[in-house]
Amino acid sequence: MGTQPLDTPSELGLPVGSWHAERDQSRIGFTVKTMWGLATVSGRFTRFDGHLRIHTDGAAANLAIEAASLDTGHAKRDQHLRSADFFDVAEHPSVSFVATAITARAGDGLTIVGDLAVAGRSIRVELPVEVARREQGRLGLSTTATISREQAGMTWNRAGMIRGDALLTVELELTADRDGADPTSDVVVDVA
């Protein structure tokens, strides 16, 4: 995929550089209504890697999540969510997101469009991302998005217990890479 030159290196409001997610200071979670809308199940993923790279002629962002690291605080439910009824971690051990477009929004924000691969399906999502600048070259990125369970192939729903879509919440604390290179992604997307 080709890239378009930026007018300035900081067109996205961020300095040129490469960052990686600090797992112990970041959170990737979800909520979904169950028990016919009477209860909310919340969960999180505990093992993941995320990267953001901004350079003078493009940008790249990706997130890789170990699906089996799913934790809702209830072992039997987690086992079911890891099964073929939901995340199917035996066949699809990773959930991934790869950006295809990154654009600046008013204020300190980005819009990141990309492909979310979950349980063998790919879903195009648009994420409104808030950016917080931290001290010592650190960045905070946060977003929420509604994800269709049906589009993700998660159609198991005994007696209509599960209501609506899942709400995904991502809060990443990013630290600048020392060498400025992102070894996990060669994908560079156009920046508008």
pLDDT in tens, 68-114: 999 999 999 899 889 998 889 999 999 999 999 888 887 778 889 99
How far, in Å, are 69, 134, 152 from residue 65 at the CA level? Answer: 8, 24, 15
Termini Cα distance of the chain = 14
Q: Which CATH superfamily is domain 17-191 in?
A: Lipid/polyisoprenoid-binding, YceI-like (2.40.128.110)
Mark the ranges of the chain whose per-residue pLDDT is less than 70: 1-12, 34-38, 149, 152-163, 179-192
Q: Phi and psi for 178 in degrees, rounded to 5? A: -65, -40
- Stated pTM of the model: 0.81
DSSP 128: E
